[in-house]
Amino acid sequence: MTQKFLKAMVAMVLGAGMLAGCAEESSQEPEELASSVISPEPESAPTSSSQEPSKVEPSPVSTEVAPAQLAEITTSVEGRERTYLRSTPVGFSPDESWSVILVFHGWEMSAEQMRQSTELDQSRSIVVYPQGVDNAWAPAPYAATSGEEDLAFVKTILDELEDEYDVDSSQVFATGFSNGGGFTAYLGCRMPDTFAAIAPVGAAYYETVQADCEDTPLATLDIHGTYDQVVDYYGGNRHGTDYESVPEVLAEIAERNDCQGSSIIRRSTAVVEQRWLDCDQPLEHLRLGGGEHIWPSIATEEVREFFGV
């Protein structure tokens, strides 16, 4: 058993730092899994979790940097004032070419809460935490914005970064939690040519998230707990709107990525890692047995490793 998965087991036992979404629980029964996805296993009991932000181990693929220099930026998108936090590493040089990570908060969260809880700004990248209008992202049913408006916001952020810095356009990434995870997937669906990879975590895959996607394959890492009582792993209905199960979404992405053959599954007590084979772009999934609606303590390291930052 690798050191990474020993860490994952310990994290699941001790309880991850919690990013709580809406407290309403799902009452949906598990749906039939897509044939290309692993079958459910007995789940461990949920563990207690605190309200403190997640504490993560340093990524093995990148040199950890000092606390970032943070700025709040205000811009205008389609006549509406929008804000985002922009983090640049200490020692940052505008003469270097930099990767960019966009990090999207969950419903009723703030950009600052997402920054503190994920600690992704310890990466050697420009890290941006956009703020959703009324703390939400399209195309969720409770969003105050349209999908087109939030997509335009992302394009504006990237344009402003490129105007000010030497951005490596081949190294632009997106991740998010819950509603922000769903919006991350929506970006991957509608703007796949913009991103090198995406990583939704505990994502709310409302039925419009994966609708009318571009055919372009995109590297994707999905992380989700099987005891998520807010956004059920097996799908359900919230706010009067259906959302897809994780297996259904993975099957759709596997088709877009033109994955062939069987998947490779690596198992530990708490974590199942699934990888699809012969894909045009990588597709990976971490299934956290007993995991609740949280940003898990292993998520930051896993996301950074998948992005290679």
Instruction: Tell me the pLDDT tens digit for each residue of 186-245.
Output: 999 999 999 999 999 999 999 999 999 999 999 999 999 999 999 999 999 999 999 999
DSSP state of 185: H
Q: Can you tell me the distance from the alpha carbon of 237 to that of 233, in angstroms, rounded to the nearest whole number?
A: 12
State the pTM of this model.
0.80
What are the sequence ranges of the domains in the chain? 3-17+68-307
At 142, is the pLDDT very low, low, confident or very high (cuts 50, 70, 90)?
Answer: very high
- The pLDDT tens digits of the residues spanning 52-77 come to 232 223 333 344 445 569 999 999 99
- Please state, in angstroms and as integers, the Cα–Cα distance from residue 8 to each residue in 15, 41, 59, 76, 266, following that order: 10, 18, 13, 41, 13
pLDDT at 117 over 60: yes
Q: Is 149 left (phi over 0), alpha (psi -120 to 50) or beta?
A: alpha
Q: Is 166 left (phi over 0), alpha (psi -120 to 50) or beta?
A: beta
Indicate the range of 1-10, 121-130, 161-170, 184-193 predicted with least confidence: 1-10
DSSP state of 122: G
Nearest to 20 by CA among 87, 109, 82: 109
At the topology level of CATH, where does 3-17+68-307 sit?
Answer: Rossmann fold (3.40.50)
Indicate the range of 36-50, 147-161, 205-219, 253-267 predicted with least confidence: 36-50
- Predicted local distance difference test score (pLDDT) of residue 246: 98
